[in-house]
Structure 1
Amino acid sequence: MENILTTTNISKSYGPVKALNNLNIEVPKGSIFGILGPNGSGKTTTLSILLDVLKPDTGTYCWFNNPNDIYYRKKIGTLLETPNFYHYLSAKDNLKITEAISGRGNEADIDKAIAMVGLHTRKHDKFSTYSLGMKQRLAIGAALLGNADVLVLDEPTNGLDPVGIVEIRNLIKQLGEQGKTIIMASHLLDEVEKVCTHFCILKHGNLLISGPVKEILRNEDILVIETENMAALQQLLTTLPHFIELKQQKSFCEIYFKSNSISPAEFNAYCFNNGIVLSHLEVKTKSLEEKFFELTEN
C-alpha cells in the first residue's frame, strides 16, 4: 500500500526534555491514522514538525512519497487549535475569509466543503447560531478548502458534548470513505477505536507500537467460555501448545492463545472430544483501551 507520509528517525528536544526519540511511522494513503499517547507523550510536537511549525533536531519526513514536492502543504488541511470564526458572519462568509488568507480554494470549493461537512442548508446562518458540533464541522470544512488530500486534526472532538462527538466521528468516517487520508491526535481511546483504521501509541517521545488497528488488537486470540467442568478444562489447557493464560471471571473465563493458533470450532471440538462440554463460547477482541494501558502503564 502506498504511504502518504513516512517519518525517519525524527527526534526533538526542549533543553533536557526529549519530546521525540527516533520516531518512525508510516501513514498509508486513504487511512484514518490515530496518534495516541498520555499528556507529554509527543503528539503535538509530532504534528507541529510534520506541518513545518517546528523543526526536528534530527531525522526527516516525506509527504506524498515525493521529497522534492515543495507544494505539499497546499494538499494538507489542518485543524490544530480551537476554530476562530467571526460570530456575526455566516459559514460561507467565514470560509471566504479563510480562503483569502490561506490562498487555498475558490468559491466553488467553499460550497463543496460546506456540503461535505453537512452544513449546506445552514451556510447562510450566522456562526453564533451553530451548535458546538456544527462549529467543529465548519472548522473541518475550512481544512478541506482547495480539495485537500490530507487532513491533520488535533483533538477534533475535544470539548464537544456527546452529540457533537458523534457528529464529528461520523464526518471523519465519511471523509475517509471518500478517499481522504486523515491523521488525528486524540486522547479519547473509544473514539479512535471506532474511527481509525491505523494508529500509533507514543509515550515520553518513544513509539510503542504502530500499525493497523485490527492487527494490533488481534495479536492474541481470546475465547470467552463457560463450562461446568472447569477443573478438567484447566488441566486440558496445559496440553495445548499455543495456550497463554486463563483468566477466571465470575460466571465465565477468558482463555488467551497466540494469534491465529486455534479456531473456536477447533477448540470446541477439542474440548468435546476430551469430555468437556462448553455451554458458551465466543471470540473476544482486546479493546484499544486494554492495549493502551497494557503498553503505557509501565
Structure 2
Amino acid sequence: MSILSIQNISKSYGNIKALNGVSFEVPQGAIFGVLGPNGSGKTTLLSIIVDVLKADNGNFLWFDQPSSPATRRKIGTLLETPNFYHYLSAFNNLKITNSISGRGNVTEINVVLEKVKLLERKNSRFSTYSLGMKQRLAIAGALLGEPKVLVLDEPTNGLDPVGIAEIRELIKELSIAGHTIIMASHLLDEVEKVCTHVAILKKGTLLTTGAVDDVLVDNDIVEISASDNNALLNILQSYNGTEQVILENGLVQIQLAKGTARPEEINAFCFSKGITLNHLVIKKKRLEAKFFELTNN
C-alpha cells in the first residue's frame, strides 16, 4: 500500500523550475529519503505535499485520497528550524504547540516526550538544551496527535556527530513503532544508514527512485590490463556477469554486481582467450561515486 502517491508535480519560481514533473510513491512503513544536492527541490516538494505551497501542475494523494483536513491530521511535519520559547520548559513549549496546531492534547505531551527521550528533561528550559535535544523536541511536537506519517526536512542539519546519531536512532525507533517517515536530506551517508527507500532529485528533476539497496547499489570494479588492452576490452564484452567494460587511464575496468567479482575466474577467462594479464586489482565502488554519477551527468 502507498501512503503517498506523487503524480507529475511541477513548481516554478519565475524563470526557475524548482520541480519538473516529479512522480513517485512512498510505501507504507518506509523510511523514505528525498535526496539531492542543495537547490534540488527537496524542501519545495515537501512543502507542497503538506499544503504549505501549491503546485503549478500535478497532484498528490495521501492514503489514496486528495489532501484534506482529515488527511493532514494524520501527518506530523518538521519543515523549519525548531522555533520554541527559550525561557519556557519543554513541556510548556509543547502546550503552546498543541494550542496553536490543534493536534493532539495536553495529556499526550508526556507520551511524546518519552518517545524522543526527553521526559526527564521536560521541566528544563529550552535554552539549556543541546542542538540535538532541540531537534528531538521539535520531532516531539510533530508527534502530537499520533500521526501515521512524519515529514521531516533535513532533520540532522547543523547537528554535531552525537546529535546526528541521536536523530538517526530516533527515526529508526519511530519507524519500528509504526510511523512512515519521509525525510529530505542532502547527505548520502544519512540516507544510506537510515532509509529503506529513496528518490534522488537534481535541479527539480527526479533522477531515480526505489529501494535504497537497488538505487545505491555498491558495485564491484575490477581493474585489469594486458599488452593489448583493446583486444582485452573486446573479449571482456562476453564475460558472464559484466555490467560495463571501459578503458580508462590505461586500464580496463569491469563493473560487476556487488560481491560477484572473482579474480581467479577473470584471469582464467582471459588466459583461455589467449590474453595474459599483467595487472588485476579488485576495487569497491563507493556509494558516493554512484551518487556523484547520478547527480553530475
Shorter-chain TM-score: what band? 0.7 to 0.9
Q: What amino acid maps onto 2:255 in structure 1?
A: Y
> Per the alignment, in what secondary structure is the counterpart of residue 24 of structure 1?
strand
| Equivalent residue number for residue 244 of structure 1 | 244
> 222, 226, 242: which one pairs with 2:220?
222
The 3 A distance-change label for structure 1 pair 247 and 157 is farther
The 3 A distance-change label for structure 1 pair 205 and 238 is closer
- Is 1:256 aligned with 2:251? no
| Equivalent residue number for residue 193 of structure 1 | 192
1:248 and 1:295 mapped to 2: Cα distance? Answer: 19
| Equivalent residue number for residue 60 of structure 1 | 59
> Per the alignment, in what secondary structure is the counterpart of residue 59 of structure 1?
strand
1:238 and 1:86 mapped to 2: Cα distance? Answer: 64
In the TM superposition, 1:140-179 aligns within 5 A as: 140-179=139-178
Q: What amino acid maps onto 1:129 in structure 2?
A: T
Q: What amino acid maps onto 1:222 in structure 2?
A: D
TM-superposed CA distance for 1:36, in Å, is 1.8
Q: In structure 2, list runs of 5 or more residues that go unmatched.
A: none
> Per the alignment, in what secondary structure is the counterpart of residue 73 of structure 2?
helix
Q: Is the 8 A contact 1:264 1:283 kept in 2?
A: no
> Per the alignment, in what secondary structure is the counterpart of residue 86 of structure 2?
coil
- Deviations along 1:212-263, one digit per CA (max 9) or x if unpaired, are 1101122x741568xxx9639x7474540535236889xx996412x48x94
1:149 and 1:91 mapped to 2: Cα distance? Answer: 23
- Deviations along 1:164-196, one digit per CA (max 9) or x if unpaired, are 111111111211222211111111221121111
The 3 A distance-change label for structure 1 pair 71 and 263 is same
Q: Is the 8 A contact 2:222 2:255 kept in 1?
A: no
TM-superposed CA distance for 1:285, in Å, is 5.7
| Equivalent residue number for residue 24 of structure 2 | 25
The 3 A distance-change label for structure 1 pair 89 and 254 is farther
| Equivalent residue number for residue 113 of structure 1 | 112
Q: What amino acid maps onto 1:231 in structure 2?
A: A
> Per the alignment, in what secondary structure is the counterpart of residue 184 of structure 1?
strand
Number of equivalences: 286
TM-superposed CA distance for 1:269, in Å, is 4.8
Q: Is the 8 A contact 2:11 2:18 kept in 1?
A: yes
The 3 A distance-change label for structure 1 pair 126 and 247 is farther
The 3 A distance-change label for structure 1 pair 254 and 123 is farther
Q: Is the 8 A contact 1:11 1:59 kept in 2?
A: yes
- Deviations along 1:93-135, one digit per CA (max 9) or x if unpaired, are 1111111111111233211110111112111211111111111
Q: What amino acid maps onto 1:117 in structure 2?
A: V
Which runs of structure 1 show a deviation greater than 6 angstroms over 4 or more consecutive aligned residues? 246-249, 273-277, 280-283
The 3 A distance-change label for structure 1 pair 270 and 168 is same
Q: Is the 8 A contact 2:60 2:67 kept in 1?
A: no
Q: Is the 8 A contact 2:90 2:122 kept in 1?
A: yes
> Per the alignment, in what secondary structure is the counterpart of residue 192 of structure 1?
helix
1:182 and 1:36 mapped to 2: Cα distance? Answer: 14
Q: In structure 1, list runs of 5 or more residues that go unmatched.
A: none
- Deviations along 1:19-69, one digit per CA (max 9) or x if unpaired, are 111110111111111112223221111111111111111111001122375
Normalization by structure 1: what TM-score? Answer: 0.84
Q: Is the 8 A contact 2:222 2:261 kept in 1?
A: no
| Equivalent residue number for residue 75 of structure 2 | 76
Q: Is the 8 A contact 2:216 2:291 kept in 1?
A: no
1:130 and 1:200 mapped to 2: Cα distance? Answer: 33
| Equivalent residue number for residue 123 of structure 2 | 124
Q: Is the 8 A contact 2:6 2:61 kept in 1?
A: yes
- Is 1:211 aligned with 2:210? yes
The 3 A distance-change label for structure 1 pair 69 and 55 is closer
1:19 and 1:82 mapped to 2: Cα distance? Answer: 21
Normalization by structure 2: what TM-score? Answer: 0.84
